[in-house]
C-alpha cells in the first residue's frame, strides 16, 4: 500500500509503539496480579508473545487463561467477572510501574511527535487499550506537554472490537474528517497492521522484541525504530514525504 499524498495525520498506536510497555509494564503487572491472588500460573515471555497475537485485549487474555486453568473453587464470581476484577487490579500495578520511571519512550518517538506537531501535522492516538493506561503513559513516560499535541484519542472504551478489527481506525478517520490514504498509521504488531490496512490506512511498522519475527509484508514501510529506518538514519517528516510512493 502506498501513500497517495503527503500524510496529513500521524495515527500512533500505543503499546509497543510509543514505549516497550508490553515486556516492561504489562507482563510483570499481569504476573504480579496472578501472584497476589495465588493463581497457579505465571506467563513466560514466550507465552505472552503468543497471547499478544492470538488473544487481543488484556481482559480477554486473562479470561482465556481462566478457561484453561479455572480459579479456586471458593471463587464466587463468573469467569468473566473474575477476569474483569483481575484486569482492573493489573491496571493499578501497571500504573505503578509507569510511575516508577522504569519505562522510557522508544527511540525517536518524542522527536517525531515534536517535529510533526511543529509542522502542523495532525496527531492522533488509535489504540484499543484502556484510556486510563494511555493517560498514565502521557503522565509518567512521555513529556507532559505532548499530551496536548494530540487532537484525538481513540481508546478501547470508544469501540466494540479490538484490533485487528478496523473499527478504531475507521472511527479515527471519521472524526478527523480525513481520507484514510491521507493518514499514516504507526504500529508495531500484525494485529495493528491488519486493523489499519482494513481501514485503508498505510502503515509504518516499528518492530520490537515481541514482533521482530512477524510478517509485515503488507506494511508500507518497516523500520527498526523511529531513530533507525534501516540505514542508520532517523524517520523524519521529510523522509515520510520523500518515500511516499
* 46 a catalytic residue: no
The Cα–Cα gap between 143 and 180 comes to: 28
SS3 (DSSP) at 49:
helix
Residue with cell 521482530: 212
User: With contact defined as beta carbons under 8 Å apart, do 60 and 162 qualify?
Assistant: yes
| Closest to 187 (Cα-Cα) out of 178, 179, 197 | 197
The angle, 0 to 180 degrees and rounded to 10, between the axes of the packed helices 190-198 and 167-176 is 50
The Cα–Cα gap between 221 and 236 comes to: 13
Question: Which string of b and e fits 35-64 if b means at least 16 CB within 10 Å?
Answer: eeeebeeebeeeebbebbeebbbbbebbbb
Pairing of strands 9-12, 183-187: parallel
* 213 a catalytic residue: no
Catalytic residues: 13, 15
Amino acid at each position: 500500500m502506498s501513500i497517495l499524498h503527503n500524510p496529513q495525520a500521524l495515527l500512533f498506536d500505543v503499546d509497543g509503539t510509543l514505549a516497550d510497555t508490553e515486556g516492561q509494564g504489562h507482563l510483570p503487572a499481569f504476573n504480579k496480579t496472578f501472584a497476589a491472588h495465588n493463581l497457579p500460573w505465571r506467563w513466560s515471555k514466550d507465552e505472552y508473545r503468543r497471547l499478544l497475537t492470538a488473544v487481543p485485549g488484556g481482559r480477554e487474555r486473562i479470561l482465556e487463561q481462566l478457561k484453561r486453568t479455572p480459579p479456586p473453587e471458593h471463587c464466587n464470581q463468573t469467569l468473566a467477572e473474575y477476569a474483569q476484577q483481575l484486569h482492573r487490579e493489573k491496571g493499578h500495578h501497571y500504573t505503578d510501574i509507569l510511575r516508577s520511571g522504569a519505562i522510557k519512550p522508544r527511540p525517536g518517538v518524542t522527536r517525531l511527535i515534536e517535529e510533526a506537531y511543529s509542522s502542523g501535522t495532525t496527531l492522533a492516538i488509535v489504540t484499543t487499550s484502556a484510556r486510563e493506561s494511555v493517560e498514565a503513559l502521557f503522565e509518567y513516560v512521555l513529556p507532559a506537554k505532548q499530551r496536548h499535541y494530540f487532537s484525538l484519542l481513540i481508546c478501547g472504551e470508544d469501540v466494540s472490537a479490538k484490533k485487528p478489527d478496523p473499527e478504531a481506525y475507521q472511527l479515527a478517520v471519521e472524526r478527523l474528517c480525513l481520507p484514510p490514504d491521507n493518514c499514516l498509521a504507526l504500529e508495531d504488531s500484525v494485529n495493528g497492521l491488519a486493523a489499519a490496512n482494513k481501514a485503508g490506512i498505510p502503515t509504518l511498522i516499528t518492530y520490537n522484541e515481541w514482533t521482530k519475527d512477524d510478517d509485515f509484508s503488507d506494511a508500507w514501510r518497516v523500520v527498526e525504530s523511529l531513530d533507525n529506518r534501516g540505514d542508520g538514519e532517523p524517520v523524519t517528516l521529510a523522509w515520510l514525504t520523500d518515500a511516499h510512493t
